[in-house]
Structure 1
Amino acid sequence: MRRRSAVLLRLAVLLPLLLLTVAPGAAGVWLNLPASGTKCVSEEIQPNVVVLADYAVVHEGHAEGGLPTIAAKVTSPYGNTLHHKEHVTAGQFAFTTTEAGNYLACFWIDSGDKGVDTSVSLDWKIGIAAKDWDSVAKKEKIEGVELELTKLEAAVQAIHENLLYLKSREAEMREVSERTNSRVAWFSIMSLGVCIVVSILQLWHLKSYFQKKKLI
Structure 2
Amino acid sequence: MRFDMHSGETKCISEDVKADTLSVGSYSIVDPIKGDPNVTVLFFGLQVTSPHGVSYHYGDKVEKGTFAFTASENGPYSACFWSPLRQPPLTTIVEFDWRSGVEARDWSNVAKKGNIEVIVTPPQFLYVT
1:37 to 1, 5, 9: 9
Which amino acid counterpart does residue 80 of structure 1 have in structure 2? V
TM-score, normalised relative to structure 1: 0.46
1:95 to 61, 69, 77: 69
1:146 is aligned to 116
Higher helix share: 1
Task: Give, in angstroms, the shift of residue 146 of structure 1.
Answer: 1.9
Higher strand share: 2
Q: Is the 8 A contact 1:70 1:86 kept in 2?
A: yes
For residues 103 and 114 of structure 1, do their structure 2 counterparts lie closer, same or farther at Cα, with a shift above 3 Å needed? farther
Which amino acid counterpart does residue 102 of structure 2 have in structure 1? I
Aligned residues: 113
Q: Note the aligned Cα RMSD (angstroms).
A: 2.7
TM-score, normalised relative to structure 2: 0.75
Deviations 1:189-216 (A, max 9, x none): xxxxxxxxxxxxxxxxxxxxxxxxxxxx
Unmatched 5+ stretches in structure 1: 1-28, 148-216
Task: Give, in angstroms, the shift of residue 123 of structure 1.
Answer: 0.8
For residues 86 and 113 of structure 1, do their structure 2 counterparts lie closer, same or farther at Cα, with a shift above 3 Å needed? farther
Deviations 1:108-140 (A, max 9, x none): 124866721011110111112111234x25xx8
Matched, 1:63 2:34: yes
Which amino acid counterpart does residue 103 of structure 2 have in structure 1? A
Where 1:128 maps in the other structure, the secondary structure is helix
Larger-Rg structure: 1
Query: Using CA pairs below 8 Å that are at least 6 residues apart, which structure has the higher relative contact order?
Result: 2
For residues 128 and 118 of structure 1, do their structure 2 counterparts lie closer, same or farther at Cα, with a shift above 3 Å needed? same
Separation in 2 of the partners of 1:76 and 1:63? 35
Task: Give, in angstroms, the shift of residue 48 of structure 1.
Answer: 1.1
Which amino acid counterpart does residue 35 of structure 1 have in structure 2? S
